[in-house]
Amino acid sequence: MELPEPFLPGAISLLEQLDKKMMVVLRDGKTLVGYLRTIDQFANLVLHNTVERIYVDNYYGDIIRGIFLVRGENVVLAGEMDEDERPNTLIQVTVAEILEMQQAKFNAKKEADAARSEALRARGKLPPPRENVDILGDEPY
């Protein structure tokens, strides 16, 4: 696309996304929503009025975070959000509620995993490897 000459030759411009409301997905699974203020060639981003959005089932909750500097290597994708469009199938709840739901879901999953590991161990098989926080899983060490 049309880039100003000396600026980041060969790099895709997030320039036109500046000052727009962006949804940024990070490698650890977090979703951040904020106004994009700064970019650089590594896709390091500065987000303003950032909100961390947590999704559990059909519910979501927003935690106000302020200003975020995100290191480029942790960015999975950065999407332009429609300002007025609200996800109509999703129901917003308070922070306390969404955190509770998330914890409940996490506990449920942990129990299910424990049960599965037990069953496997009873048959003499190894339990599945522990899950990474990194959703990409490309650095398992």
Partner 1 sequence: MVGKEVIVEFKNDFMLTGTLHSVDQYLNMKVTDISVHNPEKYPYMISVKNAFIRGSVIRYVHLPTESVNFPLLQDSTRKEIMNNRKEKKAPAAEA
Q: Is 10 in the site for partner 1 (CB under 8 A)?
A: yes
Q: Is 135 helix (H, G, I), strand (E, B) or coil?
A: coil
- Each residue 54-83 as x (binds partner 1 by CB under 8 A) or -, in order, gives -x--x-x-----------xx-xxxxxxxx-
Give the residue among 45, 27, 44 at the shortest CA–CA distance from 36: 45
- Each residue 95-114 as x (binds partner 1 by CB under 8 A) or -, in order, gives --------------------
Q: Is 26 left (phi over 0), alpha (psi -120 to 50) or beta?
A: beta
- Walk across the sheet containing 31-39 and list its strands: 21-26, 31-39, 45-56, 59-70, 91-92
What is the nearest approach in angstroms of partner 1 to the Cβ of residue 107?
20
Q: Please give the residue ranges that form the binding site for partner 1 (CB under 8 A).
A: 1, 10-12, 14, 17, 23, 25, 27, 31, 43, 53, 55, 58, 60, 72-73, 75-82, 85-90, 135-138
